[in-house]
Structure 1
Amino acid sequence: MSRIEKVVTSGTFSLDGGTWDVDNNVWLLGDDDEVIVIDAAHDADAIVESIGGRRVVAVLLTHAHDDHVDAAPALADTTGAPVYLNPDDEPLWNLAHPGLPLPSPLTDGQTFEVAGTTLVARHTPGHAPGATVFVAPDLGVVFTGDTLFQGGPGATGRSYSDFPTIVDSITDVLLTLPPETVVHTGHGDDTTIGAEAPHRQEWLDRGH
């Protein structure tokens, strides 16, 4: 049975001329032999240490804001694993890693297998054009990156983001999951779909 591990790394997020200190959740899904890494934030060495001797099936990126992808090239070099990103995030990838080729394309509905568990990629634009969540139906979990947090949608106040789009993505993709589904976020604490769903009207009223 696959298990979920969380590695918290620290660094900065920069966009639109500002820089902020951030702590990021890096998620490992797998068993004693193989693992998938979700997001490659800040510290490739810390992530590699948590991987141990396991084979890395893939590095999956929820979106290309620099705090989620800054360690991706080093992690790929060290592990030899392919990196996947929705190509709609090309502008953000180019800001984070100018001159480096785009990772392998990640498409809506694409599946990944690790340790007997299937992960399904679902495109959820809004926080970023290529933002993608990863659903593990048999584990009852979803890895949402910065699309949905405890307390509502991710930020949409900066370039390449859009508030109505993120609400539509959450409504169409995430709120259709079972309410007991655990939400593993890109920053901060877990929540559940059932805890967030009743607040959708409040998000709309709040707007952005």
Structure 2
Amino acid sequence: MSASTFRIDRTVTSGTFSLDGGTWDVDNNVWVIGDDTECVVIDAPHDATAIIDLVGGRTVTAILLTHAHDDHIDAVSTLFEAVEAPVHLHPDDRMLWDAVHADTGPDGDLADGAEFSVAGRTLRVLHTPGHSPGSCCFHLPEEGVVFTGDTLFSGGPGATGRSYSSFETIIASITEKLLTLLPETVVHTGHGDSTTIGAEAPHRQEWVDRGH
């Protein structure tokens, strides 16, 4: 029997994001990390069926949420029912979770430095507040990849103009937790195209100047 191949799969789901009385159309990335037997799902936006199809019958060992804005968690109940994997969220985003899923809670809390094993690899949690208080990224050093949710995009930091967000905090998080990773680290984002740490790092001062 040939060895099962570790891989990172992506699907894009479409729906809406609502906060502070506004609603916007959005396309979200969903990342599934693992091999032919088991996997971890990062975020549960909009369309549980599309995520389940990407899982493809594998055992899901965890559903990891980068943060609890509704466009990242609105399909989590249906996904959980299908794959029966524990849902993990940083507790600092519980108020955002409760606005969407008032009758149930996550199964586990994310914490900075916590680790999740999948298919012989280790995902390390990086708590990166700013876009929301409980925003987290997931670093996969063996593959040279970090999953940044809405903390860092191709072109700069995630939005900080809405409730519970802070521009100064997201800049500190990116500087201390992400720009310290190897420059060749691939950044897989919550929306849009992937980038690298090396491509984004030179623009930090531009972000700061633009944000003030």
Question: TM-score range with shorter-chain normalisation?
Answer: over 0.9
Please report the RMSD computed on the Cα atoms of aligned residues, expressed in angstroms: 0.8
Q: 2:92 aligns with which of 68, 88, 91?
A: 88
1:64 paired residue number: 68
Aligned residue runs from structure 1 range 11-22, under 5 A = 11-22=15-26
Q: 1:104 aligns with which of 94, 104, 108?
A: 108
Alignment deviations for residues 112-167 of structure 1 (CA, whole Å, 9 cap, x no partner): 11111110001000000000000000100000000000000000000010000000
Distance 1:86 1:98 in 2: 16
Is 1:3 the counterpart of 2:37? The answer is no
Distance 2:177 2:200 in 1: 13
Distance 2:43 2:205 in 1: 30
2:211 paired residue number: 207
Q: Give the SS at the match of 2:143.
A: coil
Q: Percent of aligned pairs with the same residue?
A: 67
1:147 paired residue number: 151
| Ranges of 4+ aligned residues in structure 1 off by more than 4 Å | none
Alignment deviations for residues 1-45 of structure 1 (CA, whole Å, 9 cap, x no partner): 421000100000000000001000000000110010000011111
1:42 paired residue number: 46
Alignment deviations for residues 21-80 of structure 1 (CA, whole Å, 9 cap, x no partner): 100000000011001000001111111111111000100000000000011111111111
Q: Give the SS at the match of 2:126.
A: strand
Q: Give the SS at the match of 1:138.
A: helix
Number of residues of Structure 1 aligned to a counterpart in Structure 2? 208
Distance 2:18 2:27 in 1: 13
TM-score normalised by length of structure 2: 0.96
Counterpart of 1:156, as a letter, is T
Q: 2:187 aligns with which of 169, 183, 197?
A: 183
> Does the 8 A contact of 1:119 with 1:136 survive in 2?
yes
Is 1:51 the counterpart of 2:77? The answer is no
1:128 paired residue number: 132
Distance 1:137 1:165 in 2: 24
Distance 1:124 1:170 in 2: 7
Counterpart of 1:42, as a letter, is H
1:198 paired residue number: 202
Unaligned runs of 5+ in 1: none
> Does the 8 A contact of 1:38 with 1:60 survive in 2?
yes
TM-score normalised by length of structure 1: 0.98
Q: Give the SS at the match of 1:127.
A: coil
Unaligned runs of 5+ in 2: none
